[in-house]
Structure 1
Amino acid sequence: MVRRKEAPSAESGQKDYRINSGLARGLAVLKAFGPDNRPIGNAEIAARVDLPKATVSRLTFTLTELGYLDHDEETGRYSLGPAVLTLGYDVMAQMEIRDIARPYMQELAEYADASVYLGTPSGSEIIYVEACRTPASMAIRLGVGSRIPMISTGMGRAFLAALPEAEREAHMASIASQFGDDWPQVEARARAAIAHADAHGYALSDGDWIAEANSAGAVIRRRDGYPVYAVNVGGLRSIITTERLEQDLAPRLVAVARKIEHIARGML
């Protein structure tokens, strides 16, 4: 079984001598870029990763020299470089589950005129590893490699619901620190969705992450019942209404998850 651990922040209070702080900071800089890879400068990067600007300047220079960042000399801004692709290519190539899931995901995407994603957990987020979309769903620009919050999305809530209770509560406690005074409201909505997932097999997000969008999520489990992947279906609320999710699309999504799960059992 592969063990995954939530990555510490760039300035984590953990003092484990085995952690190379320079490497951790460099990876934090790479994670500072959003799915759209919008060019950003050292000051914005420093604010996102909570590091001094001078430290970030050294890191971005090094990452540029290695090809992981591109630097626009006119604007002074950085964007992810082509070498970043090499970090994830081998892992993505080994994910045979993507090939198994894709036809079922695409069929649902075309039926729903929506986006259908396959994701895997990473700390307090879910990373998309496969995407099937239709033209109507392109208004929300997310694709493979995008990270979404676990606490406020249908996919993330379904994953939390499927975890053993102790592990779920540990995740919740870790996520709570990110929201401050807003946590009680965020937690209440998440726990309601988790309870719904326990009862119905899927979790909903009714504009909780992106105000204009709805989604439903369901998990794909190992033989021992532990969730390892999740799928979702979603899109603009004008097309993917909560009623349509509950009465039609979410049950279809659960069926898709079970099909993928059944075929992929040998590799999970």
Structure 2
Amino acid sequence: MGESMARRQFGEQTEALPEPEETPDALFNQSLEKGIAVLRAFSAQRRSMTLPEVAEATSITKSSAQRMIYTLEKLGYVRKHPRTRRYQLAPRVMQIGFNYLAADTLIDVANPFLSELTNVTGETTNLTEPDGVDMVYVARFVCMKFVPIHMPIGSRIPMYCTASGRAYLAALPEAESRTLLLASDRVAHTQYTVTDLDEIEAQLVLGRRNGYASNREELFIGDMTMAAPVLDGERRPVGAVHVVAPTSRWTPAEAEARLAPAVIDCARGISSSIRTLA
């Protein structure tokens, strides 16, 4: 699969190309699609928006944006500031995400293992799950020590340059991991970010051999992580566990020697537990 085609498959915004005509999907609800697009348009960069800004951010007409905003406001998912008249998300939006966390069996299984991993290592531990070309934080146990980067539940990180992403990719068949890498916008977040496809795949080979993956300041300066994949009963990866090893406290050699074995044991414990539930 070509790189541009792979990126379109996983939802990246690219230059419009001629597409063959497709048979209309009678079951697909375009109004629901637009409503979700409006909710997703709000972010740290767009904390509040006017109606024209909503229409522009979602690439829908102003009349459609008005209907979506009106409905979402009536349902309690969006609210309008009484003075500025700008729209913003309401706390009710969090109910959807919380329902996912409450229903995810993997999180329930992983929590005691993550807690123990934090006790053993003295560092912050996390569980992430895949979504497209990203890994999403779904569980986190924070240590008492200083952590340079705050990543709350729901945060997203790219697979290609993070330990948890590489651990997940390494556990996939090579053809599948390559498809995801081709779909990724492999930009350099720091001077240490590896963006070359061959170099990343070489690291995945090491990850398959060693049972863990690492990230050394490739996403954030001062942040180093060690991760291992969580596998289901079919030996398919369903997530990854990683432990944060700030460069102010750990050298790469120390992290590999002391943290990597603990992360592998944690991921194996979670994997074994979810297989017994299947």
TM-score (norm 1): 0.79
Residue number among 148, 157, 174 corresponding to 2:183 in the alignment: 174
CA shift, 1:28, in A, is 3.3
Q: Aligned-pair distance for 1:22?
A: 3.7
Q: 1:145-172 CA deviation, whole Å, 9 max, x = no partner? A: 2222111111011111111122112212
Aligned to 2:110: 101
The answer for unaligned runs of 5 or more in structure 2 is 1-8
Counterpart of 2:264, as a letter, is V
User: Aligned pair in 2 of structure 1 residues 98, 65: CA closer, same or farther (>3 Å)?
Assistant: same
Q: Equivalents in 2 of 1:39, 1:89: separation in Å?
A: 20
TM-score by length of 2: 0.77
Query: Which residue in 2 is equivalent to 1:51?
Result: 59
1:115-264 equivalences under 5 Å are 115-175=124-184, 178-179=185-186, 185-264=195-274
Residue 6 of structure 2: aligned partner: none
For residues 193-244 of structure 1, give each alpha carbon's deviation from its aligned partner in whole angstroms, at most 9, with x where no partner exists: 3122112111111111122311121111122211112111115321344223
Unaligned 5+ residue runs, structure 1? 1-5
Change (3 A) 1:79 1:132: farther
Q: How many residues align?
A: 259
Q: Deviations over 1:131-156 (max 9, x none)?
A: 11123255422122222211111101
Amino acid at match of 2:49: G
Q: Tell me how far 1:78 sits from its aligned partner.
A: 4.5
Further displaced range: 241-250 or 70-79: 70-79
* Percent identical residues: 28
Q: Distance in 1 between matches of 2:232 and 2:99?
A: 22
Contact 1:37–1:80 under 8 Å retained in 2: no
CA distance in 1, matches of 2:241, 2:78: 31
Structure with the greater alpha carbon radius of gyration? 2
CA deviations on 1:225-264 (whole Å, 9 max, x unpaired) are 1111211111532134422321111111001001111122
Distance 1:16 1:266 in 2: 43
Q: Which residue of 2 aligns with 1:114?
A: 123
Distance 2:38 2:97 in 1: 16
Q: Is the 8 A contact 1:9 1:28 kept in 2?
A: no
Q: Once superposed, what is the RMSD of the aligned Cα atoms?
A: 3.4
